[in-house]
Amino acid sequence: MGNMPSASVKIIFKVREQLRNELASPVGLVLTSPSDFKDALVGSTLLICIGDVVTLDLLDIGCVPDISIIDYKTKRMPIAEVKARFKNYPQEEISVRNPAGVITQELWDTILNGFEKPRKLRIVVDGEEDLASLACISLAPLGSMVVYGIPGKGASFNRVDAGLKRLVNDALDKMRA
């Protein structure tokens, strides 16, 4: 077979330099201790989690996200250890390609599918999941909780309401590829 070129990915959103700083500041409640996570989730209809460490932290305290988006990479643990820890929490996995700084059609459609056919779903990204929280907030039903890890700081907890959706959709409009 040789080295077949990989199929191209369709990029639908791309972060622009002028938006980078705006997107870097967390919007929701930032928590540093997993022991505080359960309280922040009270009243949420769905739990969506982005990032390996924060997903493992939630799983370890008995909270299984409805959708988790990971890449089996973290600055805190070797990849083999991350994969081994996730094996303790088996669930359906779908792999998608998503380069850094973009949201691909493949990632968007997989997240959307996760909401349309609710189940405990783990999306494994080949590339980077850095902007997946925007897609999740845009697509999630009102009342959902979108949690994403902030390396070295903790986790940002974002309850999806009309105001947050508007804020995220405005940012996505500026990022259309």
User: Given the structure tokens 């493992």, which residue do they identify?
Assistant: 56
The band of 139, judged by pLDDT with boundaries at 50, 70 and 90, is: very high
Tell me what pLDDT residue 2 has: 41
Give the tens place of pLDDT for each residue, 81-134: 899 999 999 999 999 999 999 999 999 999 999 999 989 999 999 999 989 999
The band of 27, judged by pLDDT with boundaries at 50, 70 and 90, is: confident
The band of 153, judged by pLDDT with boundaries at 50, 70 and 90, is: confident
Contact 165, 2 (CB under 8 A): no
User: How far apart are the C-alpha atoms of 127 and 124, rounded to whole Å?
Assistant: 9
Residues linked to residue 127 through DSSP beta bridges, in sequence order: 98
Domain assignments of the chain as residue spans, ordered by start = 11-175
User: How far apart are the C-alpha atoms of 159 and 144, rounded to whole Å?
Assistant: 6
Contact 134, 172 (CB under 8 A): yes
Tell me what pLDDT residue 7 has: 64
